[in-house]
Each structure stands twice: as C-alpha cells, then as structure tokens.
Amino acid sequence: MDIKLWINGKLIKDSVEPDTPMLEYLRSKGCYSVKRGCETSNCGLCTVWLEGKPILSCTLPLMRADGKHITTLEGLQSEAEEFGAFLADEGAEQCGFCNSGFIMNVLAMKRELKNPTEEEIKEYLAGNLCRCTGYVGQLRAIKNYLKSVKGEAGNE
Amino acid sequence: MLRCNEYIFAESLGEAYELNSKKSAAIVGGNGWLKLGNRQWGSVIDISRLGLDKITETDESFTIGAMVTLRDIEKHEGLNAYTNGAVKESVRHIVGTQFRNTVTVGGSIFGRFGFSDVLTVFMVMDSFAELYKGGVIPLHEFAKLPYDNDILVNIIVKKTPLKMAYSSFRNQQTDFPVLTFAHAFREDGAFSAIGARPSRAELRRDDESILKDIFSLSYEEAERAVDAYALWISSQYAYESNLRASADYRRHIAEVLARRTVASILDKG
Ligand SMILES: Cc1cc2nc3c(=O)[nH]c(=O)nc-3n(C[C@H](O)[C@H](O)[C@H](O)COP(=O)(O)OP(=O)(O)OC[C@H]3O[C@@H](n4cnc5c(N)ncnc54)[C@H](O)[C@@H]3O)c2cc1C
Ligand code: FES
Ligand code: FES
C-alpha cells in the first residue's frame, strides 16, 4: 500500500504492508528512540507526535499517518537534551528505558498546558510508566525545567 | 497487533457499510481495542476521512462524530459546561493523554464494553446513537443490542436541562474501573447508570420518587433521601466478581459512589 508521510520533517514516500505497525515502521526508518514496552497501550514508551499531538505508536495504525507529520525524539534533539539535563540533575532516572517516551510527552505538555499545577502535570503524564524511579525526581525535574523555560521566555 | 489483508479508507458511509457487511471486515476507530485481538481481518475499514471527527453544538444539541477522540470530549468546553464537568471526569482516568488523543467515542460506544466509563456517562443524558442503517435510537437501548455490522455515525445529546455528576472507582490509577456511576437530575426524572459491575452500564430511573423535590428539602432531609436512594439504587443491579473486585465489594462501592455522586450535585445547587 502506498503511503506518504513526514518523519521529523523529512518527506517519505513508501510502499508498506497494510497492517504495518507505526512503531516498527519508525524503527525501520532509524528512529530507535521509539521503544516497545508493553504493546497494550499501557506504558507510554512508544510515544511520538502525530501532527504535534502525543500518541502511542504501538496503537495507531501506520496508515492513519498517511499525509501527516510524525515527530520522534530524534526530531527534537536539542530540546530533549535541555530537559534531559534537568532529569540528570535530579537523578531522576535509573535504567532510562522509559525516558524517550516520557520526554516526548513532557515536551508535548509544555506546549499544551500553560503553567500546569502539580496535579495537572501528574494527570498529563499518567500514561508514562517508570518501573525504577517512583516519579518524585522526575516531577522535580519537570518543575525546574518549566520554571527555567518560563524564565527564559520572560527575559526575551 | 492489528492484522489485515487490506486497509481501506472509505470514501463514504455507504461504501464503509457495504465493505463492513463481510464477516471478515472491521471498522477501525482508534484501534485501541481492535489491536488487542488475535484475528487476521480481511479488510479493515478506516472512516477517518468522512468528517466524523467534529463536535457540533447548537442551541438544542451536541452531535459528536464517531471519530471524535476521548481527549476531544475531555477538553470540549460546551459539553463540559453542560454536564458540569462530568464528561471530563469520566475520561480523564483512562490510560493516558496519548491514548485519549486517538481512541474514539465511536469505538468506545460501539464496543459497549462492560467497563466503559464513556458508555456510563452518556447514558444518563438525553442521548442517542445514530447508526448508518439502524437510525437514531436512545443510547440506553442501543447499549442492550447485540453486535452487528452497522456503523455508529454520531452520538447525539439533546440539551435537556440537567444537573449531573460522574464518578468511578479504580484499584490503581489508569487501570480499568472497578465500578462506574453517573447520575442526572432531568426534567423527566432522576436517572442513574452503573457500569463495570463488571457487566455493561444500564440505566435506571428513580421510579420510587426517593429523590423527588430534593432541591427544596432541608439539609438533613436531603441527606436522608440521598442515603435512602444510594441504598435503593445500588440494590437494583446485579454484581459479579472478577480479578479486580468481588461482587460484594462492588455492591458496597456502588452504594458509596451513589451517595457521594448525588450529594455532589446537591452541594453545587
Ligand atoms: C489498555 C486499555 C485500557 C482501557 N481503559 C479504559 C477505561 O479505564 N475506561 C474506559 O471507558 N475505556 C477504557 N478502554 C477502552 C478505550 O477507552 C476505547 O473505548 C477502546 O479503545 C475502543 O475505542 P477505539 O477508538 O480504540 O476503537 P477500536 O478499537 O478501533 O474499535 C473497537 C470496536 O468497535 C468497532 N468500531 C469502532 N468504531 C466504530 C464505528 N464508528 N461504528 C461501528 N463499529 C465501530 C471496531 O470494529 C471494534 O470492534 C481501555 C482500552 C485499553 C486498550
Ligand atoms: S509500547 Fe505503546 S504504550 Fe507500551
Ligand atoms: S528509569 Fe527505568 S523505567 Fe524509568
């Protein structure tokens, strides 16, 4: 089946099996940040953006992306690194396996919610499971990151 | 994983219906549920290009297209103003933002899942399922029908004046609910729906008039009426046990949620 889509801004025209999972396809295109944790929509590891909205690439069929833009962590390198430094400062990760999906959703939240409360942050990220950390360090990192981004915006 | 020989973007509802008449065909909404099955489908029919991803609000009603996502209804101001936030409350615990960005109202209602928060919340409203062949039927009646190959096109909610609230109980965040409860005071009576018992939600009306004139009662009288209603309504349903909770536990939770949910409507006046 023919498909045309943009992955991290790059136009791709391809021929795929009709039931190709989005997650596998993205990995086959070199987006190894997209990981499979559960494949049952529960863990959030496979989070990517479709037209700027965070979605689960293990769940939505690839064909739904026909004519659309997908963004993965590879397409947000510098922003991801900036937030990653806040995670490191708080010791907010152990194995790091959950990280790419988690960062994708934090960066989506930053765009969607203005000045989120702690409750709103927790609710937005409830679909990102982390088996190692207990989330407290991550929450500290997010708060510090949002504060710093807001500060930078205020200084402009 | 979704497995199929063909993936077809339907160009009209008529075409989608025609294609879906084969036993080996399935309509795909957000694929949240469909992909959990093991079946190899002949054709999977995608109805995402038919303009069914919109919520249309008029003075009389909301028309919610089958491809509207759970996140869309969670964030829709008109729908949440009308339901006093009950719609948001019903979906905000479902898995996560990313999931709710793609799973659909159509798939949720057509699926008529026992655990469905979505079915429970819409049931107490003056709501209808619009089917391509089956026409427009009250949602609580649609919920009882066996599965067929019709297509759910819209959910229609008439703006009958109401006061409503929703609550659910989960063993842990983002898990399936152990029990779902919705209540609405409408001009034609007081209605509750209880789901995840674990069987699917059903609608009941306060035919004993336990809550009659409750808004004009004193605080103490109203509290007694709510207690009596919670006991009565929770006894109107059958409960069963599964991995998440026993039947007895569910019955107990039903009474507690009924009391809290109805009282929360009174508190808001
Ligand atoms: C891990 C997980 C946790 C969940 N937790 C909850 C929860 O806590 N509460 C809750 O309420 N729900 C929950 N759900 C269900 C979820 O909210 C959706 O209801 C479900 O995924 C179906 O919606 P969908 O758009 O993904 O439909 P799909 O999976 O695409 O379709 C579901 C079924 O409906 C059919 N179908 C879809 N659209 C139409 C249509 N327009 N006309 C006719 N047939 C149609 C499909 O052929 C299929 O049989 C959960 C699901 C998963 C996978
Ligand atoms: S792999 Fe997609 S949610 Fe777990
Ligand atoms: S750091 Fe190991 S799963 Fe999150």
Could you say which residues from 9 to 48 on chain A have a Cβ atom under 8 Å away from some Cβ of chain B? Answer: 18-19, 21, 39-42, 44, 47
Neighbours of B199 (CB within 10 A): 15
Whether B33 and B110 map to the same domain: the answer is no
Size of interface A-B (CB pairs under 8 A): 82
CATH of residue A93's domain is 1.10.150.120
Arithmetic mean of pLDDT over chain A: 96
Q: Do residues B29 and B68 lie in contact, with contact meaning Cβ atoms separated by under 8 Å?
A: no
What's the whole-number mean pLDDT along residues A137-155?
A: 89
% of chain B with per-residue pLDDT over 90: 99
What does the alpha-carbon distance between residue B163 and residue B215 come to, in Å, rounded to a whole number? 11
The answer to whether residues A23 and A84 belong to one domain is: no
Evaluate whether B100 touches B176 at the Cβ level (below 8 Å).
Answer: no
Residue A10 sits in a domain whose CATH number is 3.10.20.30
User: For residue A87, what are the domain limits?
Assistant: 76-154
Confirm or reject contact between B170 and chain A (CB < 8 A). no
Question: Based on the domain organization, do A115 and A149 belong to the same domain?
Answer: yes
The residues pairing with A50 across neighbouring beta strands, listed in sequence order, are A53, A70
The reply to whether B86 and B38 lie within a common domain is no
The shortest CB-CB distance from B98 to any of A19, A44, A66 is to A44
Residue of B nearest to A66 (CA): B9
- Asked if the Cβ–Cβ distance from B7 to A1 is below 8 Å, we say yes
CB-CB contact of B209 with B196 (8 Å):
no
**Structurally, how many domains does chain A consist of?**
2
Same domain, A114 and A137: yes
A60, A92: one domain: no
Among the partner residues B5, B101, B174, nearest to A54 by beta-carbon distance: B101
pLDDT recorded at residue B36: 96
Q: Tell which one of B8, B99, B108 to mutate to probe ligand 1, the residue whose CB is within 8 A of the most ligand atoms.
A: B108
Give yes or no for B101 touching A (CB within 8 A): yes
Same domain, B16 and B113: no
Name the domain boundary from A32, A54, A74. A74
3-state secondary structure A68-108: CEEECHHHHHHHHHHHHHHHHHCCCCCCCCCHHHHHHHHHH
CA A20 to chain B, closest CA, distance in angstroms equals 8
For residue B30, the chain A residues in CB contact (below 8 A) are: 59-60
Q: Is B234 exposed, middle or buried (0-12, 13-18, 19+ CB in 10 A)?
A: buried
Based on the domain organization, do B32 and B85 belong to the same domain? no
User: In terms of domains, do A80 and A145 share one?
Assistant: yes
- Identify whether residues B261 and B213 lie together within a single domain: yes
What pLDDT does residue A156 have? 56
List pLDDT tens digits, range A89-120: 999 989 999 999 999 999 999 999 999 999 99
Q: Are residues A11 and A31 in the same domain?
A: yes
Give residue B150's region: left, alpha or beta (phi > 0; psi -120 to 50).
beta
Boundary (domain end) residue, out of A21, A44, A74: A74
pTM of the model: 0.97
Same domain, A121 and A65: no
Residues A67 and A103 in one domain: no
How far, in Å, CA of B190 to CA of A48, rounded? 44
Instruction: Decide which of A47, A74, A101 is a domain's last residue.
Output: A74
Q: Flag if A55 and B101 touch (Cβ within 8 Å).
A: yes
Check the CA dihedral B252-B258-B260-B261 and report its sign.
positive
* B228 shares a domain with B173: yes
Per the structure, the complete domain to which residue B242 belongs is given by 162-268
Domain count, chain B: 3
Which chain B residues touch A127 with a CB distance below 8 Å?
Answer: 95-99, 174
- If asked whether residues A36 and A86 sit together in one domain, one would say no
| Cβ atoms B193, B143 nearer than 8 A | no
Q: How far apart are CA B71 and CA B91, in angstroms?
A: 8
Q: State the pLDDT at residue B97.
A: 98
With CB atoms and an 8 Å threshold, state whether B98 touches A1. no
Three-state secondary structure string covering B163-196:
EEEEEEECCCCCCCCCEEEEEEEECCEEEEEEEC
Cis peptide before A18 (omega within 30 of 0): no
Angle at B225 between CA B87 and CA B185, to 5 degrees: 30
ipTM of the complex as predicted: 0.96
Reply yes or no on whether the pLDDT at B23 is more than 60.
Answer: yes
- Are B154 and B174 in a shared domain? no
Q: What is the pLDDT of residues B84-107, one digit of tens each?
A: 999 999 999 999 999 999 999 999
For residues A91 and A26, membership in a common domain is answered with: no
C-beta atoms of A124 and B97 within 8 A: yes
- The reply to whether B144 and B168 lie within a common domain is no
Task: Supply the angle between the helices A99-112 and A136-155 in degrees, to the nearest 10.
Answer: 40
Alpha carbon nearest to ligand 3 atom 4, residue: A130
Q: How far is A115 from chain B (nearest CA, A)?
A: 17
CATH number of the CATH domain containing B69: 3.30.465.10
Residues A45 and A110 in one domain: no
Residue A43 CA to residue B61 CA, distance in Å, equals 37
CATH number assigned to the domain comprising residue B228: 3.30.390.50
Structure tokens at A34: 């997209």
Interval B169-199: pLDDT, tens: 999 999 999 999 999 999 999 999 999 999 9
Q: What atom of ligand 1 comes closest to residue B170's alpha carbon?
A: 8
Give me the long-range contacts of B81-88 (CB less than 8 A, separation at least 24).
B82/B157, B82/B159, B82/B162, B83/B121, B83/B125, B83/B162, B83/B164, B83/B166, B84/B163, B84/B164, B84/B165, B84/B265, B84/B268, B86/B121, B86/B164, B86/B165, B86/B166, B86/B182, B87/B121, B87/B166
What's the pLDDT score for residue B269? Answer: 77
- Residue B25 and residue B45 in contact, taking contact as beta carbons nearer than 8 Å: yes
Regarding beta strands B61-65 and A53-56, do their DSSP bridges make them parallel or antiparallel, or are they unpaired? unpaired
Q: Which of B183, B53, B35 is nearest to B106 (CA)?
A: B53
A142 with A90, same domain: the answer is yes
Give the C-alpha distances (Å, rounded to integers) separating A102 from A38, B10, B31, B176, B223: 14, 35, 22, 22, 45
